[in-house]
Chain A
Amino acid sequence: MATVQGTAIYKKKAGTLSILEEEQPPKLQWKCIDSEVASPIVEIELDKIVNLKATTATSERMMLVIGYSMASSNDTAAATATATATPNGDVVTTGKLTFSFNNRITMDNTKSVLQQVIARKRSGISNGSSDPGQSLKSTTPDQPQSNENVENDEFLASLLNSNKLLKNLSLQQRLLRDNPALMKTFTDAVIRSGLEPEEFWSTRVHLLRSYAIQNNQKRGPYNVLSTIKPVASSENQVNVSVTREKIHEIFQQYPIVRKAYDDNVPKINEGEFWSRFFSSKLFRKLRGEKVNLYDRGDITLDKYLYYDPDYDGEEDDEEIDKLLDEKKLATDKPSKKGNTPDITMKVDQNPDLVNVMRTMNRLSHRMMSNIKDSNADKDNLDREFEEELDIKDLETKDVVEYNELKYTQRSNISSNILPSELLSKITSQSSLNPTSNEYDDYMVNFKTQLDEKSPLQLNSCYVDSKKSIYETYKEISNIVKKNAKQSSQSWNSKNIDTSLEKQDAETLNVQLDSLRLTHSTSIEFLRHFWLHFNSISTSSISTNVNFKSELIQLRKLYFSITKCLERVKASLESLNENDKTVGTVLMGPLVESLTCALKNYEASIIESK
């Protein structure tokens, strides 16, 4: 069977030109139509074709010139061939065959097939040379698959291990590259101020972990073929790029392709197999596209079209019932064709459509079966079913038990609202010691202030206090203005202290950056300081292996914090008079917390003997 066949005139003799791709080796053949004429059969191996020339589509003459070169001296068709001897002794024959057609369609068909052959050959060569590893890999495609899930679990477990994360320098570098803000803190705290990198990361293990997981997430199954898109290149070539992973996926999802690969690859080379595959009808069918009868496919691979579509790479072990169920068969009357027996269960369904649906169904089925815990679903279903069967009303009700807490509200007994010195005065009081205290003195007045002799005058509260009433008015409207501004902004907008006016903040903006940097670095050190400080307070030399090193580390941090304090002061000094007051307000809390850390350290220094 020939892929393309048609009449062609060769050396003014009519004949049939056919391209025999399925033969080994595939070749192009021309036979004279008149068997009586002893014109030789022209045969040329497709591999040997190097170039192709055809008259333009508009020209009246329809000619196809096939250029070839072969290393063998055996030359059946070399009518116009010229043999040249290469320096190494091989005889390289180059030549060309000229066919003329009387039918443009035949010529175009021949031309495009030959074009494909040439293109395939070229890409096959480049493929083979550029990626020798591909064939290596592809020959054992299903080996890593079996334990992939196991590996994945182990991998995830290792991700969660903080120690490993802390040692994974490349991961840390990548994270820094991806996160400029973190990079800034890192350069400032670690590179410039000498914080140990390990320290730095120890407080950020969560970041590392999430980054690691984010970058190593397992990709679920997907329809690989749909992601492969042939791209037409400038040289009339169709380029398809496939990675090893994709090939692997293809084999996994389409066992039929693996079978085709296993059957053919020793014979044809790796690159060629794939280029054939992507131009085949099989590819189109597996992708779920509609396959036209007249589409050109690939002769070697298209025979797999007719293989059992359910072939999944393994022999079927399914048990077939050896008995016939009469009852079931009674309703099955294929002759009547009530519902066409396909998945759509509809009359007169387009068979192509059904085919596509089948393919898709199979694919999803296969994908689902590759997902690890498909068993869990089953269990769930069972449980659901069981629950449905339960008769809930008859079950004994769970009794909610409470743990009784005896609650005493001690804070209500607040004898301490009295200052202690007053309390002692009172207790020393007796009838013999009538020294009165402040309270007693005051009470005499307090009790009688609503006296009839000096009645309450309501106007007293505003008559002489016009000025302070006005001040109050201003104060309240200021508060309202401030609140209005804040409520119109978003909730998390910067709430700079009221003493910091807006204009000040603007002029400060330039210097603000340097302050901000100092601030964030200091916070970094403070964080590590407290981490170690608290860890030391809750552990001892016996419980913590790193106790000694932590002590030394902590002392280092103490000095770093002293330096931080100096830095804050220096950066405040560098500001001009106006900004300095604002800057002091801004940095106030930081200075406070730095000194607090220093004080705490100093307070817990071991007294040396």
Chain B
Amino acid sequence: MDAIADRVFADTPGGPTNRIADETPSLLTVILDVNPLEWKKLEDAGTINLKKLLSSLLIMLNSHLALNSSNQVALYTANSFSGGAKLIYPKIEDDSDTATAKKQSNLMMSSGMYRQFRIIDGSILDDLNSLLRSIPDKLRNLLNDGQGTHIKGTLSGALSMALSYINKSQKSIDPQQLGLKSRILIISISDDNTLPYISIMNTIFAAQKMKISVDVCKLGNNSTFLQQASDATNGVYIYIKQPEGLIQYLTTALFIDPTLRPIIVLPTNTSIDFRASCFITNKVIDIGYVCSVCLCILSVIPQDEKCPTCHSKFDHNLITRLKRKPKVLPLVKKKRKLEGTNGAEVDSEVGSNMGTPVPN
């Protein structure tokens, strides 16, 4: 029966090529942002909580797996506070299947689920649960955690990990994984200030070079850098206006297979903010200074007159000129001119004001 069907399909023109396109397996890598402070904001606003998002996400992963038996998924978390970027699924195999199967049944309601989905979903939930539990209760503890006084922005870390995971699997000996088409989906809730500009840009360029699309599902505030990421990699950036319908976003707009990208009109938000962020203040800026050596972007002139990134010394005279603020004539000067009827006097006064060096 199969043999007959095969021949029939092979004989139709275009049949084989269609089949190749259809049957190319792909890898879906998801990066989930679990920044507790941002989640608090979202929950306070009553839009969505992590649990709801997770159920939508699991459905998405399941449907991706259901499309093709060789399809694969991977899940990373990014937490700006503790733990940083972590690989959640696939696990590095040391537990046996049965062990995970035992554990996961508790977290999932539907036990009558397709077993393969259940194993994966359960494993994801278990790991997430243990990860969440490992976050310190108190922010103070976190700050004094011995990790230093600062907190890392880790979405870019997760992105680079995902890219290297894809790279590794694409180059593996396993024929199933060799040249696997891949895409990355970022579910982001944090603001741009948690994103280190340079690292994000570097990952964008890496993804661009590897021809991997970066899709962005954005909750919370719009993100300039992630817009740029999806724009540069032919991905979809979509701002979630209705978190209630998240499942619809995930399974349509953000569900476009890499092989379809060249053909399909992407449902992406087209107005992109191309601004960059200041290297010192981390704020997105309209107009700023650029270091002529390393192209570092500055919104303020550094006190030590050195580039904060490459330590090149700036010309002192130039800096003082830049620092000088313009001084202009007051608007009511006209009146005085009429009173004095002496233009020269006015001019000289202006001159004396201007002559003194302006303290910054």
- Chain A residues with Cβ under 8 A from B267's Cβ? 476-477, 479-480, 483
Quick check: is B259 within 8 A (CB to CB) of the other chain? no
Contact A422 B139 (CB under 8 A): yes
Output the nearest chain B residue to A562 by Cβ-Cβ distance.
Answer: B331
Closest 8 CB pairs of A and B: A472-B245, A537-B326, A468-B244, A472-B248, A468-B245, A450-B129, A405-B310, A465-B244
| CB 8 Å contact bits of B266-297 with A (1 = contact, 0 = none) | 11111100000101111000000000011000
Determine if A317 is an interface residue (Cβ-Cβ < 8 Å).
Answer: no
Partner-contacting stretch, out of A220-228, A259-267, A283-291, A440-448:
A440-448
Interface assignment of A469: CB less than 8 Å from any CB of chain B: yes
Q: Which of chain B's residues have a CB closer than 8 A to the CB of A480?
A: 265-267
Given contacts A409-B309, A443-B137, A537-B325, contact A450 B51 (CB under 8 A): yes
Contact among A452, A462, A469, A484 for B107, CB-based, below 8 A? A452
Partner of A443, one of B135, B153, B246: B135
A457 to B106, CA, bound (A): 12
Chain A 440-482 per-residue mask, 1 if CB under 8 angstroms from chain B, else 0: 1011101111101001111111100100111111011101101
Q: Evaluate whether A458 and B153 lie within 8 angstroms (CB atoms) in the complex, with A468-B242, A541-B351, A551-B350 already known.
A: no
Bound-complex Cα distance A437 to B140 (A) = 10
Q: Contact check: which of A412, A415, A426, A455 meets B199 at CB < 8 Å?
A: A412
What residues of chain A lie closer than 8 Å to B309, measured between beta carbons? 407-410
B59 touches A411 (CB 8 A): no
Residue from the list A443, A470, A604 in contact with B325, Cβ < 8 A: A604
Is the pair A442, B108 in contact by a Cβ cutoff of 8 Å? no
Contacts of A461 in B (CB 8 A): 52, 55-56, 59, 246-247
Residues of A within 8 A of B194 (CB): 414, 417
Decide if B353 is an interface residue (CB 8 Å cutoff).
Answer: yes
What class of interface size applies to chain B in its complex with A? 35 or more
Partner of A455 from B106, B132, B325 at Cβ < 8 Å = B106
B140 near A486 with CB under 8 A, answer no
| Known A426-B140, A486-B270; contact A533-B326, beta-carbon cutoff 8 A | yes
Q: Does A82 contact B (CB under 8 A)?
A: no
A455 — which chain B residues lie within 8 A by C-beta? 106-109
Give CA–CA (A446, B135) in the complex, Å: 10
- B355: chain A residues within 8 A (beta carbon): 540-542
Residue of B with least CB distance to A555: B329
A578 CB–B CB distance under 8 Å: no
Which A residues lie within 8 Å of B312 (CB)? 405
With a cutoff of 8 Å between Cβ atoms, the chain A residues found around residue B129 in the complex are: 450
CB neighbours (8 Å) of B109 from chain A are 455-458
Q: Chain A interface secondary structure, helix, strand, loop or mixed?
A: helix
Tell me which residues across on chain A come within 8 A of B280, comparing CB atoms.
410-411
- Knowing A456-B125, A537-B325, A551-B328, the reply to whether A476 touches B107 (Cβ < 8 A) is no
Is A418 among interface residues, defined by CB-CB distance under 8 A?
yes
Interface residues on A, range: 35 or more
Task: Give CA–CA (A18, B323) in the complex, Å.
Answer: 97
B55 contacts A414, C-beta separation under 8 Å: no
* 14 sampled A-B residue pairs with Cβ under 8 A: A408-B309, A410-B308, A411-B198, A414-B194, A416-B281, A442-B39, A456-B107, A461-B55, A473-B252, A483-B267, A483-B268, A534-B326, A555-B329, A608-B333
Partner of A411, one of B58, B110, B196, B347: B196
A471 and B39 contact, CB distance less than 8 A: no
Residues in A with CB closer than 8 Å to B89 are none
Bound form: Cα–Cα A414–B35 in Å: 14
Give the residues in chain A near B136, CB-CB below 8 Å. 443
A516 at the interface (CB under 8 A from B): no
A320 adjacent to chain B (CB < 8 Å): no
- Nearest CB to that of A406 among chain B residues? B311
Check: B253 CB closer than 8 A to any chain A CB: yes
Query: Contact residues of A with B, CB < 8 Å?
Result: 405-418, 422, 426, 429, 436-440, 442-444, 446-450, 452, 455-462, 465, 468-473, 475-477, 479-480, 482-484, 486-487, 495, 498, 533-534, 536-538, 540-542, 547-548, 551-552, 554-555, 558, 601-602, 604-606, 608
In the bound assembly, the distance between CA atoms of A334 and B99 in angstroms comes to 109
CB atoms of B49 and A449 under 8 A apart: yes
B324 within 8 A of A: yes
A606–B328 touching, CB < 8 Å: yes
B198–A405 touching, CB < 8 Å: no
Contact B193 A443 (CB under 8 A): no
A334 to chain B, nearest CB (A): 73
B350 partner residues in chain A, CB cutoff 8 A:
548, 551, 606
Q: How far is it, in angstroms, between the C-alpha of A429 and the C-alpha of B238 when the chains are bound?
A: 40
Q: Determine if B321 and A446 form an interchain contact, defined as CB atoms under 8 angstroms apart.
A: no
State the CA gap A542–B332 with chains docked (Å).
25
B36 contacts the other chain (CB 8 A): yes
Note all chain B residues with C-beta closer than 8 A to A450. 51, 54, 107, 125, 128-129, 132
Q: How far is the CB of A473 from chain B (nearest CB, A)?
A: 6
> A443 contacts B36, CB within 8 Å?
yes
Alpha-carbon distance between A88 and B128 when the two chains are bound, in angstroms? 127
Cα distance A484–B55 in the bound complex, in angstroms: 32
Partner of B52, one of A416, A442, A460: A460
Asked if A444 meets B137 with Cβ closer than 8 Å, knowing A461-B52, A483-B266, A541-B351, the reply is: yes
How close is A585's CB to chain B, nearest CB, in angstroms? 13
Other A-B pairs beyond A409-B196, A418-B151, A450-B125, 9, CB < 8 Å? A411-B198, A414-B153, A447-B135, A456-B58, A476-B267, A534-B326, A538-B322, A555-B331, A605-B331
Q: Is B227 an interface residue (CB 8 A)?
A: no
Residues in chain A near residue B106, CB distance under 8 A: 452, 455
- Within 8 Å by CB of B327, from A471, A536, A602, lies A536
The CA-CA distance from A457 to B356 in the complex, in Å, is 73
B243's nearest neighbour on chain A, judged by CB, is A468
Closest to A606 in B: B327
A586 to chain B, nearest CB (A): 15
A541 CA to B281 CA, complexed, in Å: 34
Q: CA separation between A469 and B132, bound complex, in Å?
A: 29
Interface centre among B58, B128, B333 (most CB of A within 10 A): B333
Q: Are B328 and A471 closer than 8 Å at their CB atoms?
A: no
CA distance A459 to B244 in the complex (A): 13
